[in-house]
Amino acid sequence: MQQETSTSLELVQRLRRGDAGAYQLIVDQWQHRVFNFALRYSNDQYFANEVVQKTFIQVFEKIDQLKDPAKLKSWLYKIASNNCCNEGRLKSRVSFSVLDDQVPQRADFDTPARSYEKAEMKALVEDVLQKIPPEQRQVIIMKEYEGLKFREIAEILGESENTVKSRMYYGLDAMRKILLNNNLSKDIYHE
């Protein structure tokens, strides 16, 4: 975290001086994470690409508005989060399958049957995630997939930590209810 902060601080300062190389380094460092965040939010690769493009255009255009360069990470997620909300309002939702080559894969030595079960479970969770309200989905993605702390999520969304925790709780509860209503939770709880 300390290395990331000092690097972010340096990159922001360089970008503010007009260093195009610093911009490219920021894009290289964060593009994949912003894409994955937007993809999990929408389950739509086109949507995610749009969010990435808009996010990094705004980073370039508004870098002087970042008050604390050490908070580049929070600022990026806030821009990406706002772009997800805006894109969601602008476009009718068309759901595409998550392309396997866009999601990093780890070496998996499971049996073919177990690999299939994991893929099915992943698809099920992604499907259920799309059925909960966007503000709850955002929090769950930021916490569970992006590994952000409640404090960071609250800062990004401009909400209190208690509000963020409530959204997390209600979102997970809504997902559980969807699974129960579809008689699918029994498989999940037995893992």
CATH of 1-96, one of 1.10.4080.10, 1.10.10.10, 1.10.1740.10, 1.10.3720.10: 1.10.1740.10
What lies within 8 Å, CB to CB, of 163 at 6+ separation is 154
**pLDDT tens digit sequence for 15-52:** 888 888 889 999 999 999 999 999 988 888 889 999 99
Mean pLDDT of the chain: 80
CATH no., domain 110-185: 1.10.10.10
With 0-12 / 13-18 / 19 or more C-beta atoms within 10 angstroms meaning exposed / middle / buried, residue 150 is middle
pLDDT of residue 90: 59
pLDDT at 108: 46
pLDDT interval class at 136 (50, 70, 90): very high
Indicate the domain borders of the chain. 1-96, 110-185
Q: What is the mean predicted confidence (pLDDT) over 144-160? A: 89
pLDDT reading at 185 higher than 80: no
pLDDT at residue 97 is higher than 50: no
pLDDT of residue 93 exceeding 80: no
- Rg over CA atoms, the chain: 18
Largest CA distance in the chain: 57
pLDDT in tens, 102-135: 444 444 456 777 777 777 877 888 888 889 999 9
Dihedral pair phi/psi, residue 165, rounded to 5°: -65, -40
Q: What is the pLDDT of residue 10?
A: 87
